[in-house]
Chain A
Amino acid sequence: MSTAGQEFLRKAAEKSSDLVHRGIVRWNIDQYDTGVGKGKTRFADWSAARQRCHDIKWEGVNHLDKYLLQFEQKVKENGGHVFWAETGEEARQYICDVAARHGVKKVVKSKSMVSEEIHLAQAMEKMGIEVVETDLGEFIVQLRNEPPYHIVTPAMHLNRQQVSKLFHEKLGAAETLDPPELVAIARRWLRKDFFSAEMGISGANFIIADAGMLTITTNEGNGRLSTSVPRIHVALTGIEKVIPRLQDLATLWPTLATTGTGQPITCYNTLMGGARRAGEVDGPEEFHVVLVDNGRSELLADLEQREVLHCIRCGACINACPVFRNIGGHAYGVTYPGPIGSVLEPRLLGFKEYQHLSFASSLCGACTDVCPVHIELHHHLLHNRRNAIHEGTHSASERLGIKLFRWMMMSARRFRFFGWLGRMALRVIHGMGLEGTVLDPMRPWTKDRAAPAMPRESFRDLWRKQNGVR
């Protein structure tokens, strides 16, 4: 198994037996589930919402060239800059160059998962630039030197005690278990950053072709301040985020809010199409959009998995995932945790290192059920598994085992004989009290669970007895 795979196993084992962690995540997701349940009742027809979202994203993704060019042209007409980055490295370089050109010393960031994907903050910090995350959850995990735990709720794994201690240690704030006071501490602390930063970096929930605008969705207002006060605004987005028309947001905004947090609509849905124009009171002097490919166009070329690009990053599949509920977001060791990440990351980072993520799922399909854009997530996990096997990522012994399994199952007589042999062997071994020990061939199962009783007779034996051999 790859290094990343071994690390995954280690962290997953650690987290899955951590009952405190399991409790915190469960609490959070229970709140989320209640909210989403209530949120969906606001829709006359939730399935219609999902269908429309699918239609919009399908249209955008299947005509990606047309809509990206339309978007680019509009942005340029309004004086903005558009840069196309094939890789994370290229995107980082471009943004670092813009920062260097303007002598940027401080950057305020609103939430952007693409910036995590391309490790932007680390690159800018290397240049001596201070990068401040301004979303409260992101701010908290940044202070802890951790990546976001969840794409929508970055600090889901922490309770108020931990946040209080963190603010005390890192910000010198008085300890308090009062959540409003904790929020106030962050507000006071970040205010000065909004007003001293020269550059604001945002992501984009959608980029809108016909308007040449992008939209960001936030509750706190940090995204608005980050894109209003600093001199430069850089928006970083995946190429797949493009949608055809402004009015598509009448569908996407409420749906994203509902599956993201259970809200009818998020507090601030902001549209930005450029720098401050003549006659406007304020706004940045420069506006840059960085369109990141980083493997997406390859996914686009795969007809079977193209729809994975429909993802609107709402986090619903992550919350629904029973694997996530037990191992949490950090164990995955990648930017996007949960089902969408287990589909996407092995594709973006390579099966050789990351195929294990596609296998670490019971394929229960809860993710597919909740996806607002109808991505068949658990089927894509199956496709990834098949593709990984074709790439030869698995051991020769496993391949041999499967071949033997097939050989046995291609004959009812062989199946009956080996089945009998196995049951009898296990009856003896378990009868000797060796169940669950290292001498138990069933140990991968019996290490964590009792073995099923091994019956003397199989069903076909009983059937023959009852009905005679034909």
Chain B
Amino acid sequence: MASADNPSRERILGRIRAAVQTTAPHHDGPAGQMFAPVTDPLERFQKECAANITECTVTADTAASAAAIANVLASVPPGEIFAQDAPELRALVSAFKDGRPLRWSSEGPPNEASQATITLCEALVAQTGSVLVSSANGGRQATVIAPVHIVFAKLNQLVPDLEAVFARVYERGIASKNSYVCLITGSSRTADIEKILIMGAHGPRRLIVVLQTGG
């Protein structure tokens, strides 16, 4: 939009520039460490997942990961499964091939009626038990639309804390390469009625992380 269409822009900026000529007093205080350092990321990640209601399964190799995913899918009602089209997930395809329709992200976004989605992630955060995804993980809807979201991750994707995950975001250009990034912590929830915690508001009711340590 040309600035001619938005004359307020210059007026607002003019007022801001005039105002910030003078800097306001700053409240000074000690800025120590907010959080104790994370010493054992894997242990912490599992602990946090348990607390925020993420189902975390640690697997040793590809076969075990495939089995873990197959195990989850066995409990999912009939209907389409959606998966991010990535070599890592293609390699695990035996796990999803349980007779139901399978849609890859290369074919477009998931159908609204998808029963489960399977994606990779950008990173895992031990401090909060979170999963960082972006639009590269099968798109925006892939990680929110179905009642079940399964994330397949490798141990080298696990970072200790939020500071570290942002370092990774910068390093790998995650925020500049993608129009959408989301830090997911647990499954969708609400406490808007009488402060009672209810799982599965608009997003997935179940978030499952299959974390492969080897292979």
Contacts and interface: CB of A to CB of B under 8 A. Distances in A.
Chains A and B directly touch (beta carbon < 8 Å): yes
Interface of A: 27-28, 31-32, 42-45, 47-52, 54-55, 58, 61-65, 68-69, 78, 81-86, 90, 134-137, 140, 153-155, 158-160, 163, 179-180, 182-184, 186-187, 190-191, 194-195, 211, 213, 219-222, 224-225, 227-229, 239, 246-247, 249-251, 253-254, 261, 264-277, 280-283, 287, 291, 293, 297-298, 300-301, 303, 306-307, 374
Contact of B33 (A45, A58, A264): A45
B39 interface: no
A271 B182 contact: yes
A64 B20 contact: yes
A396 to B, nearest CB: 35
A83 B167 CA distance: 31
B31 A268 contact: no
Given A65-B16, A267-B187, A282 B139 contact: yes
Contacts of B60: none
Interface stretch (B21-29, B72-80, B92-100, B150-158): B21-29
Given A45-B33, A301-B19, 14 more contacts: A27-B194, A160-B193, A190-B202, A191-B112, A250-B166, A269-B185, A273-B180, A280-B136, A280-B178, A281-B139, A283-B179, A291-B12, A300-B20, A306-B19
Given A159-B194, A225-B144, A220 B189 contact: yes
B34 A251 contact: yes
Contact of B6 (A83, A249, A253): A83
A280 to B, nearest CB: 5
Contacts of A303: 22, 24-25
A247 to B, nearest CB: 4
Nearest to B169: A246
Interface in B31-73: 31-36, 48, 51-52
8 contacts: A28-B195, A50-B29, A52-B31, A187-B200, A250-B161, A272-B179, A277-B135, A281-B135
A183 B138 contact: no
B162 to A, nearest CB: 4
Contacts of A191: 112, 202
A84 B11 CA distance: 9
Interface string B170-203: 1000011011111111111111111110111111
Query: Is chain B's interface secondary structure helix, strand, loop, or mixed overall?
Result: loop
Given A62-B24, A374-B27, A270 B190 contact: no
Nearest to B143: A224
Given A183-B193, A280-B139, A228 B180 contact: yes
Contact of A265 (B13, B23, B24, B185): B185
Contacts of A69: 13
Contacts of A221: 144, 188, 201-204
Contacts of A90: 8
A65 B8 CA distance: 14
A163 B192 CA distance: 11
B208 interface: no
Contacts of B114: none
Nearest to A34: B195
A271 B180 contact: yes
B185 A65 contact: no
A31 B203 CA distance: 24
A35 B199 CA distance: 17
B24 A64 contact: no
B179 A277 contact: yes
B8 A84 contact: yes
- Residue of B105, B161, B169, B185 most packed against chain A (CB within 10 A): B185
Contact of B192 (A61, A153, A272): A153
Contact of A183 (B9, B184, B190): B190
A180 B31 contact: no
Given A267-B188, A300-B15, A48 B20 contact: no
B1 interface: yes
B190 A219 contact: yes
Nearest to B5: A83
B202 A220 contact: yes
B163 interface: yes
Contacts of A270: 180-183
A42 B35 contact: yes
